[in-house]
Amino acid sequence: MDTRHFELQDLLSEALIALEAGDRPRVETALRRALAWVEHDWLATPGELRFGRQPPIVMDEGDDPDD
């Protein structure tokens, strides 16, 4: 059984919880993590799949999590 969608659901739930709390930096971080996960897991070619490892989270130079 493929349970990858549960991982994505957890990441998006984290973003929604942060949105409800009004924590914009946490929302942005959670959405970036979800996008990185999707790009890594669902858009990868079979030769690029790395099962069991989280995708690297890369933040832009201009992103300051303390803003």
Q: What is the structure's pLDDT at 31? A: 92
How far is 24 from 18, CA to CA, in rounded Å? 7
Q: What is the structure's pLDDT at 16? A: 95
Pull the structure tokens for residue 45.
Answer: 């070619």
More confident residue, 31 or 41: 31
Q: Following CA atoms 16, 17, 19, 22 in sequence, which dihedral angle do they give, to the nearest 10 degrees?
A: 180
pTM: 0.59
pLDDT at 29 over 60: yes
Counting residues of the chain whose pLDDT is more than 90, the rounded percentage is 34
